[in-house]
Amino acid sequence: MRRYRAFMLFALPILLLVAFGSDVANSGHEGLIIRAALAANPVGACTSAGTDNQVYSLTGYKFPSTSMTFKTNQSTFPTYISKSEVQSAIKSAFTTWDGATKRALFVDGGTTTAKANTKDGVNTVAFGNLGGGYVAAAYGWFNTSNVVIEFDITLSTSYTWATNVTKNGDCGGAANAFDVRNITTHEVGHPIGLNDLYGTSDKAQTMYGYAAYQELYKRTLANGDKKGVLVLFGQ
Ligand SMILES: [Zn+2]
């Protein structure tokens, strides 16, 4: 517990750096990666994905040689949408990346009471507080060999969410809400080894670092996202 507190103190300036688009940190023995999807403030209108520029960017951190098990903390899910739909949306986000390579990347471990953004040995997806206009964030911890040993994903409770189960189209989601599957698919790209992209021409990629209400197109991988997966894991 003492060690964890020390680590969090160290992490505070990292959070500030991330607000400016920077990364990383290494405590000496193990490091923390934080990657986030941002909403413009106020949240901008959703516009179509546009041209696929096939761009990707690698974090440099390695996914382990065996698959990682993710779990969801359903007690944090919003009460205004169906729990099973949220669960299904999160699972789809993982299987989307899994489907882009023959490597088995993720295993659905069901539910947990573990907290997100806490290094506790559980790869947790949960809703929770995130400051600074962040819609969601992926936290990752890596070892001295730069292999990811744990990740957590938090979807911000500062925003309204929807599952848009029967919806489609780039911007076909519910008004004034972020789509759970859309945003989670983006976040899952981080523990895999992909960075945010912030160029305006990168917009069609799932790893584009900004998100909008109603947006659905990040649910499916663009060519840059797929290229990144192939470089990391092969076909
Ligand atoms: Zn991101």
Tell me, what CATH number does 123's domain have? 3.40.390.10
* Structural domain containing residue 24: 2-233
Write out pLDDT tens, residues 32-84.
777 777 777 678 899 999 999 999 999 999 999 999 999 999 999 999 999 99
Please tell me the distance between residue 37's alpha carbon and the centre of ligand 1 in angstroms.
4
Q: What confidence score (pLDDT) does residue 159 get?
A: 94
What's the number of domains the chain is made of?
A: 1
Distance CA 91, CA 86 (A): 9
Distance from the CA of 140 to the center of ligand 1, in angstroms?
12
CA 58, 60, 64, 68 dihedral sign is negative
Q: How far, in Å, from the CA of 98 to the mean position of ligand 1?
A: 18
Selection from 11, 21, 16, 13 nearest residue 195 by Cα: 21
What is the distance in angstroms between the CA of the first residue and the CA of the last residue of the chain?
41
Q: How far is the CA of 187 from the centre of ligand 1 (A)?
A: 6
Residue 183 Cα to ligand 1 midpoint, Å, equals 9
Q: How far apart are CA 77 and CA 128, in angstroms?
A: 9
pLDDT digits 0-9 by tens, 167-224: 999 999 999 999 999 999 999 999 999 999 999 999 999 999 999 999 999 999 999 9
